[in-house]
């Protein structure tokens, strides 16, 4: 069944199991692209963990009406722990791919980081009145997160943090106790480390093309990060985060 993002307070507003709810341009566009017809059934979610069955009642070029039923909290596809992916900014369309796949496999927060070896630099002047390159990319990535949740039937939109430089992110206080930086220089494998832990929130830091610099790794270690590896082979930046998240899920979700 097709799933679409429907922001708003409809899960709270519903007085009963059914609700007639207006939709605006963004969802109208998606329904038209997917050729959803009147009385056709699909699913919606609010990004906060609620979902509902929906039937299209009417649709025009700018707005429409849908009928919602079976409105409920639905977090069955969400991990019980939070993985935050601190991803070194990568060039080309690699960041798009990383974000899309990270959402599909269950990451709950993504923090794009400007690192020493990041190929692309998204630094803007504070005097600019128009949206900066970083703001435009941030909005673009939010769209990728939404589309990924629609595709993989997640109901909670992962948090996308603003672009931040590596030093600022690594040195600030985080409530998360388990902080890991992945590097070919790590002496212990990630899978061995997490297998000895109970499932809990964690940060996974992945470098850009060329990896983290020695200074960045030293700074992370000084701020409580475990420097771990993903094995004998050096992985590309667009591969490393996906492998790391999958390794954590394998160690924790398949545990009897």
CB 182 within 8 Å of CB 64: no
Q: Domains in the chain: how many in total?
A: 2
- Name, in order, each residue with C-beta under 8 angstroms of 123's C-beta and a sequence gap of 6 or more: 114, 134
- Report whether 49 contacts 73 (CB < 8 A): yes
Residues 187 and 118 grouped into a single domain: yes
CATH number for position 44: 2.40.240.20
For residues 161 and 212, state if they share a domain: yes
Same domain, 63 and 148: no
CB atoms within 10 A of CB 165: 14
The pLDDT tens digits of the residues spanning 14-68 come to: 766 778 888 888 888 888 888 888 888 999 999 999 999 999 988 887 888 999 9
Is residue 87 included in any domain, yes or no? yes
Q: Are residues 123 and 51 in the same domain?
A: no
Residues 45 and 100 in one domain: no
Q: Containing domain of residue 17, as a range?
A: 3-73
113 and 222: one domain? yes
In the listed set 49, 73, 97, which residue is the last one of a domain according to the structure?
A: 73
pLDDT tens profile 98-126:
999 999 999 999 999 999 998 887 755 45
CA 42 to chain centre: 23
């Amino acid at each position: 069944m097709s799933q679409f993002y429907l922001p708003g307070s409809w899960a709270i507003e519903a007085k009963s199991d059914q609700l007639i709810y207006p939709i605006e341009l963004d969802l109208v566009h998606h329904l038209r692209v997917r050729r959803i017809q009147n009385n056709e059934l699909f699913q919606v979610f609010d990004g906060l963990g609620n979902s509902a069955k929906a039937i299209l009642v009417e649709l025009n070029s700018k707005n429409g009406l849908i009928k919602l039923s079976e409105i409920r909290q639905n977090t069955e596809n969400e991990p019980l722990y939070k993985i935050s992916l601190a991803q070194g900014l990568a060039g080309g369309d690699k960041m798009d791919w990383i974000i899309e796949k990270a959402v599909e496999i269950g990451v709950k927060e993504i923090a794009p980081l400007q690192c020493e070896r990041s190929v692309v630099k998204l630094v803007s002047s504070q005097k600019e009145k128009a949206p900066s390159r970083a703001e435009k990319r941030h909005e673009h990535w939010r769209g990728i997160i939404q589309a990924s949740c629609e595709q993989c039937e997640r109901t909670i939109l992962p948090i996308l943090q603003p672009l931040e430089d590596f030093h600022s992110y690594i040195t600030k206080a985080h409530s998360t106790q388990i902080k890991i930086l992945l590097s070919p220089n790590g002496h212990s494998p990630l899978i061995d480390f997490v297998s000895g832990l109970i499932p809990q929130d964690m940060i996974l830091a992945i470098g850009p093309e060329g990896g983290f610099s020695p200074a960045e790794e030293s700074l992370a270690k000084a701020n409580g990060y475990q420097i771990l590896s993903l094995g004998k082979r050096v992985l590309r930046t667009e591969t490393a985060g996906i492998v790391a998240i999958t390794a954590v899920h394998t160690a924790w979700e398949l545990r009897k």
